[in-house]
């Protein structure tokens, strides 16, 4: 009998183990559901409200065809007004035409002025082209030509826009009559200043997190990123700007712009200077990392007619985001515009570099 049992062992009862495994899996399934369900609801919320808002609002400017995609341009100031250059406004990382809401209407009182959304940002279509610094400049130049807005141009760049306008000047020097840089990025800032490098890296990481939060609808429903960055901006157009800046596509392409940061800095290091064209670097005196003002002063050496203007009490964002500071930026643009008008009549001219000048600094501000 024992031999028979040995040759035919009894089946092992695995039911308790199976039940135990099921009890272990169920909490994991429940946990996954608790995570994925709100994510799915948030993504649906983002999708539905995006569709609604794009139906509700229309671009404040016009859409110009550029190589199969459309760029949003906001053009103000009568064509042919005066005899000076057209003022072209270039925003910082992820910025749109709305960012110039205080400045553009005031500049339009004495000049023709253009702001725009770069590809994939705001109301502009993504173009699918490789992210290269030159591509952005060519895009803008092509859009201006398609819109019937020839040079000469007075280029105004804020933050990263200060790098982009230098690329434009390098490619089209005979169409640039002057430049205003509003607390611009310096192509060496991440290499020579550890404080700036840390701040830049933290900002880039924050953008990646914001892209995820935007995809699941959190940024639109609960985030305060827009409110923090829109302090002081005019009420007109505020809700439309909130909608556009909450688009997942916009945030995604902002990160795509950020991904070319190192390439952009490397490109700008090898660009030409401005020669004797007028240049004014405008910066606030609040919230600057240690050593950053020295970098701003260094940029005045791009021109033999370069100067630095400090605006008291201003920060990187409220230089253009608060009316009182923005009006001082407008005055800076007006000052350079008057000089650039003379330069514009003499274009084209030799793009030779000039000796580095002594630094000139003026201070404006309020108590």
Q: What one-character-per-residue DSSP string does 194-261 give?
A: HHHHHHHHHHHHHHHHHHHHHHTTHHHHT--HHHHHSTT--STTHHHHHHHHT-HHHHHHHHHHHHTH
| Structure tokens belonging to residue 182 | 């509003």
State the pLDDT at residue 50. 58
Domain of 325 in residue numbering reads as 62-365
Same domain (yes/no): 300, 190: yes
We report the CATH number of the domain holding residue 169 as: 3.40.50.1820
Inter-residue long-range contacts of 338-342, CB under 8 Å, 24+ positions, other chains counted:
338/84, 339/178, 339/278, 339/305, 340/84, 340/85, 340/152, 340/154, 340/177, 340/178, 340/277, 340/278, 341/82, 341/83, 341/84, 341/85, 341/177
State the pLDDT at residue 220. 57
Same domain (yes/no): 297, 250: yes
State the pLDDT at residue 353. 39
Q: Is residue 10 part of a domain?
A: no
Looking up tokens 């809700």, which residue turns up?
239
Strand partners, 87: 113, 154
State the pLDDT at residue 337. 95
Same domain (yes/no): 50, 167: no
Q: Is residue 12 part of a domain?
A: no
Q: Is residue 7 part of a domain?
A: no
Q: Is residue 13 part of a domain?
A: no
Same domain (yes/no): 38, 72: no
Q: Is residue 5 part of a domain?
A: no
Q: Is residue 31 part of a domain?
A: yes
- What is the mean pLDDT, run by run of 10 residues, along the chain of 367 residues? 52 54 58 51 53 69 89 87 85 92 95 95 85 89 94 95 96 96 92 75 73 61 59 76 77 84 93 94 90 92 95 92 95 95 69 38 44
Same domain (yes/no): 176, 40: no
Q: Is residue 9 part of a domain?
A: no
Query: How far apart are alpha carbons 98 and 74 in whole angstroms?
Result: 9
Final residue in a domain of this structure, among 56, 72, 103: 56
Question: How many domains is the chain partitioned into structurally?
Answer: 2
Final residue in a domain of this structure, among 56, 86, 105: 56
Determine the straight-line distance between the first and last CA of the chain, rounded to whole angstroms.
106
Same domain (yes/no): 66, 23: no
State the pLDDT at residue 214. 67
State the pLDDT at residue 34. 52
State the pLDDT at residue 225. 60
State the pLDDT at residue 18. 56
pTM of the model: 0.81
Same domain (yes/no): 172, 110: yes
Per-residue burial over 101-135, b = 16 or more CB atoms within 10 Å of its CB, e = otherwise: bbbbebbbebbbbbbbbbbbbbbbbebeeebebee
State the pLDDT at residue 1. 47
Same domain (yes/no): 49, 174: no
Same domain (yes/no): 219, 315: yes
Same domain (yes/no): 236, 136: yes
State the pLDDT at residue 354. 36
Same domain (yes/no): 46, 180: no
Contact indicator for 168, 143 with CB cutoff of 8 Å = no
Same domain (yes/no): 299, 321: yes
Q: Is residue 336 part of a domain?
A: yes
């Amino acid at each position: 009998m024992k031999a028979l049992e040995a040759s035919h062992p009894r089946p092992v009862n695995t039911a308790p183990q199976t039940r135990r495994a099921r009890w272990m899996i169920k909490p994991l399934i429940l946990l996954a559901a608790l995570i994925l369900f709100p994510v799915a609801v948030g993504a649906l919320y983002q999708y539905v409200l995006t569709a609604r808002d794009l139906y509700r609002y229309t671009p404040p400017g016009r859409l110009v065809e550029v190589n199969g995609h459309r760029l949003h341009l906001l053009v103000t100031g009568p064509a042919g007004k005066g005899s000076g250059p057209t003022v072209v406004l270039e925003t910082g990382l992820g910025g749109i035409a709305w960012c110039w809401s205080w400045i553009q209407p005031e500049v339009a009182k004495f000049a023709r002025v253009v702001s725009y959304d770069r590809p994939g940002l705001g109301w502009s279509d993504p173009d699918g082209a490789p992210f290269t610094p030159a591509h952005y400049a060519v895009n803008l130049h092509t859009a201006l030509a398609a819109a019937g807005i020839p040079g000469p141009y007075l280029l105004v760049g804020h933050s990263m826009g200060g790098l982009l306008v230098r690329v434009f000047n390098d490619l089209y020097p005979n169409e640039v009559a002057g430049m205003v840089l509003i607390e611009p990025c310096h192509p060496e800032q991440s290499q020579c200043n550890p404080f700036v490098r840390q701040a830049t890296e933290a900002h880039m990481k924050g953008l990646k997190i914001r892209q995820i939060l935007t995809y699941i609808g959190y940024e639109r429903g609960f985030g305060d990123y827009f409110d923090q960055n829109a302090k002081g901006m005019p009420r007109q157009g505020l809700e439309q700007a909130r909608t556009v800046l909450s688009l997942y596509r916009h945030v995604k392409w902002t990160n795509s712009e950020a991904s070319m940061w190192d390439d952009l800095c490397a490109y700008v290091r090898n660009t030409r200077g401005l020669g004797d064209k007028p240049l004014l670097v405008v910066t606030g005196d609040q919230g600057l990392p240690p050593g950053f003002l020295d970098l701003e002063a260094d940029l005045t050496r791009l021109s033999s007619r370069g100067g630095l203007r400090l605006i008291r009490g201003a920060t990187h964002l409220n230089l253009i985001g608060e009316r009182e500071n923005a009006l001082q930026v407008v005055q800076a643009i007006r000052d350079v515009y008057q000089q650039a008008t003379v330069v514009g009549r003499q274009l084209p001219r030799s793009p030779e570099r000039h000796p580095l000048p002594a630094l000139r600094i003026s201070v404006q501000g309020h108590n």
